[in-house]
Amino acid sequence: MNPGAWFASRKRDCPVCGRDAGRSAGNNPIPLRHPLPRQAISSLCGLCLRAIPWIPYPICRICGRAESCEDCVRRTDRAYQMSRCAVRYTDTMRDWLALYKYRGSERLEIVLAAMLAFAYERLCRVSGASFPTITAVPLAPERLRERGFNQAERLAMRLADWYRISYFPLLRRLRHTEKQSLKSRRSRVVDMRATFAPQVRPEWTGPVLLVDDIYTTGSTLNECARVLRQAAPTADPPSVYGLLWARS
């Protein structure tokens, strides 16, 4: 084996951009307690690390948004307790998610899950709750076939593993709904009905964490929470908390 190859394999290339991430973390604080997601974030190069638009201090206490929030004020039928989002959905974050969807790279997946872990640790602190159960917003079967995997589920399963939470697929998606941002508020609300159905899992207990990649209006999260609570195995419906990778 030539020494060059050995060095090449030891080089720490950034899981996002491929640049050498040798001395990345430097003075950039990584806002995570758990050592494994911390390690994942510190595998990024300095440039990528600085590009993460963390939401450390949400303004909206319901949905965890970094701005004040009309959607939460207007919503009268909220089925979830609160949600927290790890980052703002900037152009860079859009690129990272697209890269992950396209490549399905495991190293990138761990980085995205580690970012979600930041929202999870925040949510635990703010809510004072502990979570026995975690689930994810499902994809419609034809979308799943097309893409090959459900990124929200993958991220939720990584989190389940790190924090020892039981992952269950508790919901089914009956049909695909169009991208929410393209529609008016009214049609979005109507659209969500009859989109999700419960999976029968008699053993789960709440509070339950519900994971999705992007929070746009909260309609998906809200509808999933409603269906989950209705289908709960106990008479007293469990609390549902949202955990989102990014807030658009």
Residues that bind Zn ion (CB under 5 A): 14, 16-17, 19, 45, 48, 60, 62-63, 65, 69, 72
CA distance 219 to 228: 14
Smallest gap from Cβ 203 to Zn ion, in A, equals 32
16 vs 108, which CB is nearer to Zn ion? Answer: 16
> What residues contact residue 16 under an 8 Å CB cut-off, 6+ apart?
44, 45, 48, 96, 99, 108, 111
Burial 210-240 (b: 16+ CB within 10 A, else e): bbbbbbbbbbbbbbbbbbbbebbeeeeebbb
Contact 77, 222 (CB under 8 A): yes
Nearer to Zn ion, 65 or 229 (CB): 65
CB of 62 vs Zn ion, minimal distance in Å: 5
CB atoms within 10 A of CB 4: 8
Q: How far is the CB of 15 from Zn ion (least distance, A)?
A: 8
Residue nearer to Zn ion on the CB measure, 16 or 225: 16
Q: Of the two residues 60 and 79, which places its CB atom closer to Zn ion in the complex? A: 60
Of 45 and 208, which CB lies nearer to Zn ion in the complex structure? 45
Cis peptide before 207 (omega within 30 of 0): yes
CB 172 → Zn ion: shortest distance, Å? Answer: 27
CA distances from 48 to 44, 179, 208 (A): 6, 27, 32
Distance of closest approach, residue 87 Cβ to Zn ion, in angstroms: 15
Rg of the chain taking only CA atoms, in angstroms: 19
Q: Distance between CA 197 and CA 1 in Å, rounded?
A: 56
User: From the CB of 16, what's the least distance to Zn ion, in Å?
Assistant: 5
Coil/strand/helix, residue 92: helix
Select from 167, 149, 138 the least CA-distant residue to 100: 149
| Residue number with CB closer to Zn ion (40 or 165) | 40
Closest contact distance (angstroms) between CB of 92 and Zn ion is: 11
User: Which residue number, 150 or 216, has a Cβ lying nearer to Zn ion?
Assistant: 216
